[in-house]
Each structure stands twice: as C-alpha cells, then as structure tokens.
C-alpha cells in the first residue's frame, strides 16, 4: 500500500512540475470561470431581444428567458469539458506515461519489489487525484461566478446539481486520461503517442455524431427525422460518449428534460472503467524501455 | 538546383513515405465522402417524403401544390467543409510540426546544415514542400467530393459549380498552410518538440473551437433549437429591425468570430459555395463584394504564419535549439 501511495504522490508532484499540460489546465479553468459570465451576458441580451420582439408586436408569447435557473448560465461549461477538458486529460495521461519511458524510471522502480499493477494503478490514481483537484477548482470557480451573477449564494439543491455535474465530469475525464496513458505506453514514437488519442477524440467528438460544428452549440439541435439521419443517430449515439455526456450534463444543469440519464451515465462510467482496466492490463515489456522522439 | 528546392523535394518525399500522414489523410477523405453521401441520402429522403405528401394531397382531392425540394449540389459539401475546418487544421498542425521534429529526432538537422545553405532556405524549402503537398491533397479532396456529389448525389455539376469548388479549394489551401506554417514556426522556436506541439494544439483549440463556440452561443438566434426567429415565424426584415437595437452586442460577437481564421474560412467558403442561404445562386461578384475583407484577412494571417515560420526556422535558430 505504501508503494501505491508513493506512486500517487510522485504522479501528483510530476504533474505539478510539468509545464506544457499546465497550459491546457489554465485554458480549461479559465474557460470554466468565464463561462458563467458569457452565459449571463448572452441570456440577458436574448431576453432583451425577446422583449423587443414582443414590443414590436411580433409575438404575444411570454418571454421564456426571464425565469431560467442560474445554472443555465453555466451550460457552456459542458462544451468546454468536451473540448478542452478531454484534451487536457489526454495530454496529462500521455505525458505521465512518456515521462517514465523517456527517463527509464519504470525499469528502476520495477527492479524493486513493486508489482506492475501497483505502478500503473498508482499512476491512474495520481492522475485521478490531479483531475479531481482541477475539476474541484473548476466547480468552485463556477459556484462563485454563478453566486456573483445571481447576487446571492447558490441554494443547496442547485449546489448539489453542480456537484453532481462535477463528479460526472471527473469520471468522464479519468477515461480520457487513462486512454492517454494507454497511448503513451503502447506507441513507439512520442509524437504518435500524443497525436493518436487526439485524432481518436476528434473522430469521437465530431465525425461519429455526424454533427460537424453543431457540437459547438450547447443548445440541442432539432432531431432529424428523415431516414438516414435517424438510422445514423440510432447507430452512433450510444457509442458517442461525448454526446451522451452532453445530454446528461444538460439535464443536470437544468437544461431541457430528457430521457432517463442512467444509460448515458452507465456508458460514461463503462468507458472510463474500460480504459482503466485496459491500462492496468498492460504487459510488463510495454512498461519498460525507452521511446523515440 | 537551389538548396530550398532540394529541401522542398525532400519534404515531399518524406511526406509521401510517412504512413501516419497517409492514414490521417485517408481518414479525412473518408469523412468527407461519408458526409456528402449522408447529405445526398438525406435529400433523397426529403424528396421521397415530398412525393408521398403530394400523393396524399391528390388522394384527398386537394388542389394545393407544395414547393418541390430543390437540390443545390454544393450545399452537400457543408459537413465536409466543417471537417476540413476542424480535423484538417489538426492534421495541418501535425504535418507542420513533424517537418522539423522529424529531422531533429533522426539527427539529420546538423548533417543538413553542414552544407552551404541560405539563411531561409531550410524553412523556405520546407514550406514549399508542404505547400506542394497541400495543393495535391486539396485537389484530391475536391475531386473526391465532386465525384461523390455526382455519383451518390446524382447531382448535375455545372462548370460554374466547378469554379466555385476551385475557389473553395484555394481557401482550403491557404487555411491549411496557415496551420502548418504556425506549427513549423512553433517547432522551430521551442527547444522541446512536445512543448511546441502542445502550444500549437492549444492555439488550435482556442481559434478553431473555443472562439467560434463563444460566437455561436452568443448568437440570439442560436438560443432555441431550430432558431429563435424561425420558431416565432418572424420575417427576415422584422428580425433585422429587432437586432438593430442590439448593434453593440452583435459587433462584439462578430468581432470575436472574425478573430478566428477558422470562422473566416468558414464564412468565405460557405458564401462562395452558396451553403449560406443569403449567397445561394448569387453571382461571384455579389459574394466577393461581401467577402473581400475576410479574404484579405485570411491572406494576411497566412502570410504572417509563413513569415513566422521563416523567421523561427532559419539556420541559426534551429541549430541553436537543436543543440
């Protein structure tokens, strides 16, 4: 157990010292911080647009934007988790694996009575802790921003929803970090190890849902009912972990009520578990040895 | 043969031999073919729905004749352009980065520089090689997309359509060269290739995804599925009259969007291909009048990226960094 703790502590220390992924962490936390402000400004303006439409006599329907929950302002955060958070988690995972391979420290550590599973488990434990700290900071920043926008502290039910979104985000990002470690362990060249999961992520996020840049809009698209889109979404949506994350998170942040969130949550947890198990099952010869730049 | 031309030829050979690059381009071509195919099949489904509706009207004795859905072939390219905008830029970064990183990892950089090489020959030659490579790729992708439109979409492609596809190809080339040039500049600049790659990816994230995303979500019309104004059945003239009251907000939103080369590329391409309804079936002169300032901006950004690549990829700089 002490070996496991030592690996976790080493992983946290190494991440604190590694500069390049910190750039991604900075972008992620920064975007989460401004997300509430962007959401607030936009919703206020749209509410004004709607009032103007009513004033011009173009509709008599009541303004749907006046009574939105304050969590509605944070809905852009969902997109930043999918776009920035997952790339940050991949970069952290790849760096973690490459760091040891380049310095050949795994060979040294494994010359001691340390089981490879303990080494890999400690690594993913360290990464999960780092991601927990990042997501925790992001959630705290969101809570403060939303409270400032609202002019009062968030209520307990709204705080609970924000926390649930944070936990889901953490589970989602751990899967991508484990995928990054896997890539760093299995691919021979440093560049390929970094790029392969990035390209995989791009396909998962953009090509699979057949949405193109529609991903960038947190507002749900009108469902396409014509044959080919219906069949494609039927086939690809259950596989698209990013789309499932978007759907559940929208419900959590008081978006439009959707179907039961449990299958989507199960898919996200299964994705993270599968990546972690695959990483833990890495053979010893893959953990040892250097790497080409 | 000048040293720059030799570097350009070597870069082309390296790219041709790189299986990862070929695999990535294969993925991109496949994504474009699938997107055009899906859009074509979607149009066929719309047409079938229309015929079924007309049949129902005839059987019910109605004399109403609904408008026939019309196929505008170039609109089938929409998703393909979006893939090029997002994934193409990512691949362009990979190619620009690999240009110097490859030489460094093989240790051939010092060897190359033992020859008499001009100050900017290395970076200039590499840029020429990448430029020729992207030219071939863009031509190939345009050909593949046009063939898919004609075969799967059973669309009639006019000479005018081909000219517009050619124009879109020119802007795709400039866009890809921007990202490759920027990645080359960063790789020349940073000591660790991985740091350069991560910085390039962060810039990609900001200018390809985050800035357009903020612009999109700030758009009042994007707040409701299907569009706010469409949902309320508001005419375009009334929409413009309402939005005139929010000119400052719209300027801020537009300013954000046009700071991203991806958004500029998208606007120009969507306009010339008629994907955006406002420009559909309009003359090239009409489109040019609206787009020329964006065109200038894209040219300026690409030139700046290439200038940076030349500056940071010169002999003294890369040898200093490699040592």
Q: Count residue pairs from A and B with Cβ separation < 8 A.
A: 170
Nearest beta carbon to residue B213 from set A41, A53, A79? A79
**Residue in chain A lying closest to B211 (CA):** A216
Cα separation, B172 vs A158, whole angstroms: 45
| B145 torsion bin: left (phi>0), alpha (psi -120 to 50), beta (else) | alpha
Task: With beta carbons less than 8 A apart as the criterion, state whether A177 and A128 touch.
Answer: yes
Do B41 and A227 make contact, defined as CB atoms within 8 angstroms? yes
Q: What is the pLDDT of residues A144-155, one digit of tens each?
A: 988 988 888 999
Domain that includes residue B238, residue range: 3-322
Mean pLDDT for back-to-back runs of 10 residues, chain A (293 residues): 83 82 83 86 84 82 78 86 89 87 78 82 92 93 89 90 94 94 85 82 71 49 55 66 86 71 86 90 75 53
In B40-59, which positions are buried (b, 16+ CB within 10 angstroms) versus exposed (e)? bbbbbbeeeeeeeeeeeeee
End-to-end alpha-carbon separation of chain B, Å? 29
Cα separation, B186 vs B313, whole angstroms: 9
Reported ipTM exceeds the 0.85 cut: no
**Residue in chain B lying closest to A46 (CA):** B220
Task: With beta carbons less than 8 A apart as the criterion, state whether A276 and A172 touch.
Answer: no
The pair of three-digit structure tokens given for residue A115, joined into one six-digit string: 């089981």
CA distance A74 to chain B (A): 12
In the three-class reduction of DSSP (H, G, I as helix; E, B as strand; rest coil), residue B63 is classed as coil
CA distance A112 to chain B (A): 30
Nearest beta carbon to residue B234 from set A21, A53, A95? A53
- Give the alpha-carbon dihedral of B298, A196, A242, B78, to 10 degrees: 40
Do B232 and A53 make contact, defined as CB atoms within 8 angstroms? yes
pTM: 0.84
Task: With beta carbons less than 8 A apart as the criterion, state whether B73 and B161 touch.
Answer: yes
Domain boundaries, chain A: 2-287
**Residue in chain B lying closest to A56 (CA):** B242
Q: What is the pLDDT of residues A61-81, one digit of tens each?
A: 777 777 778 888 888 899 889
Nearest beta carbon to residue A76 from set B38, B85, B217? B217
- Give the alpha-carbon dihedral of A81, A247, B270, B231, to 10 degrees: -130
Split into its structural domains, chain B has a count of: 1
Judging contacts by C-beta atoms under 8 Å, the chain A residues touching residue B216 are: 213, 216-217
Mean pLDDT for back-to-back runs of 10 residues, chain B (323 residues): 82 86 86 85 80 82 75 87 90 90 79 77 90 95 91 85 95 97 91 84 90 85 75 80 85 90 95 91 93 96 94 74 50
């Amino acid at each position: 157990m002490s070996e496991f703790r030592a690996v976790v502590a080493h992983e946290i220390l190494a991440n604190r010292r590694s500069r390049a992924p910190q750039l991604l962490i900075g972008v992620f936390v920064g975007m989460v911080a401004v997300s509430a402000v962007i959401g607030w400004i936009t919703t206020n303006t749209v509410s004004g647009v709607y009032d103007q439409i009513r004033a011009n006599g173009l509709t008599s329907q009541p303004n749907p934007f006046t009574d939105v929950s304050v969590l509605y302002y944070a809905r852009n955060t969902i997109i930043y988790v999918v776009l920035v958070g997952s790339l940050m988690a991949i970069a952290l995972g790849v760096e973690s694996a490459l760091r040891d391979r380049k310095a050949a420290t795994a060979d040294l550590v494994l010359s001691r009575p340390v089981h490879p599973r303990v080494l890999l488990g400690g690594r993913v434990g360290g990464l999960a802790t780092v991601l927990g700290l990042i997501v925790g900071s992001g959630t705290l920043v969101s809570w403060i921003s939303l409270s400032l926008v609202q002019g009062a502290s968030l209520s307990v039910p709204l705080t609970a929803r924000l926390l649930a979104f944070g936990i889901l985000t953490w589970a989602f990002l751990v899967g991508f970090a484990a995928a990054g470690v896997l890539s760093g362990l299995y691919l021979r060249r440093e560049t390929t190890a970094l790029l392969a999961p990035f390209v995989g992520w791009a396909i998962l996020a953009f090509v699979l849902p057949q949405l193109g840049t529609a991903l960038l809009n947190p507002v749900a698209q009108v469902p396409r009912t014509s044959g080919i889109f219906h069949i494609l979404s039927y086939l690809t949506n259950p596989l698209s972990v990013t789309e499932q994350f978007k759907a559940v998170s929208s419900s959590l942040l008081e978006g439009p009520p959707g179907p039961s969130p449990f299958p989507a949550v199960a898919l996200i947890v299964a994705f993270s578990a599968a990546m972690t198990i695959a990483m833990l099952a890495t053979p010893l010869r893959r953990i040892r040895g250097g790497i080409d730049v | 043969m000048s040293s720059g031309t030799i570097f350009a030829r070597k870069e082309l050979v390296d790219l041709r031999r790189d299986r990862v690059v070929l695999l990535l381009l294969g993925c991109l071509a496949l994504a474009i073919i699938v997107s055009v195919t899906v859009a074509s099949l979607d149009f066929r489904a719309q047409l079938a729905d229309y015929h079924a509706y007309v049949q129902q009207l005839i059987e019910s004795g109605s004399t109403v004749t609904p408008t026939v859905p019309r196929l505008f072939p170039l609109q089938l390219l929409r998703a393909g352009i979006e893939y090029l905008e997002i994934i193409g830029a990512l691949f362009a970064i990979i190619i620009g980065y690999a240009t110097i990183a490859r030489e460094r990892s093989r240790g051939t950089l010092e060897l190359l520089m033992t020859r008499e090489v001009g100050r900017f020959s290395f970076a200039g030659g590499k840029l020429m090689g990448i430029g020729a490579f992207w030219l071939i790729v863009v031509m190939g992708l345009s050909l593949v997309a046009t063939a898919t439109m004609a075969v799967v979409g059973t669309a009639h492609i006019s000479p005018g359509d081909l000219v517009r596809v050619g124009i879109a190809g020119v802007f795709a080339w400039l866009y890809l060269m921007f990202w490759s040039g920027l990645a080359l500049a960063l790789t020349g600049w940073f000591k660790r290739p991985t740091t350069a790659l991560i910085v390039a990816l962060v810039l990609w994230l900001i200018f390809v995804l985050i800035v357009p995303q903020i612009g999109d979500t700030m758009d009042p019309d994007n707040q409701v599925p299907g569009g706010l104004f469409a949902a309320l059945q508001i005419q375009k003239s009334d929409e413009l009259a309402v939005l005139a009251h929010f000119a400052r907000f719209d300027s801020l939103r537009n300013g954000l969007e046009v700071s991203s080369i991806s958004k500029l590329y998208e606007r120009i391409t969507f306009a010339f291909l008629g994907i955006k309804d406002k420009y559909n079936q309009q003359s090239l002169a009409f489109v040019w009048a609206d787009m020329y300032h964006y065109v200038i901006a894209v040219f300026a950004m690409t030139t700046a990226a290439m200038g940076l690549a030349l500056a940071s990829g010169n002999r003294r700089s890369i040898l200093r960094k490699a040592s």
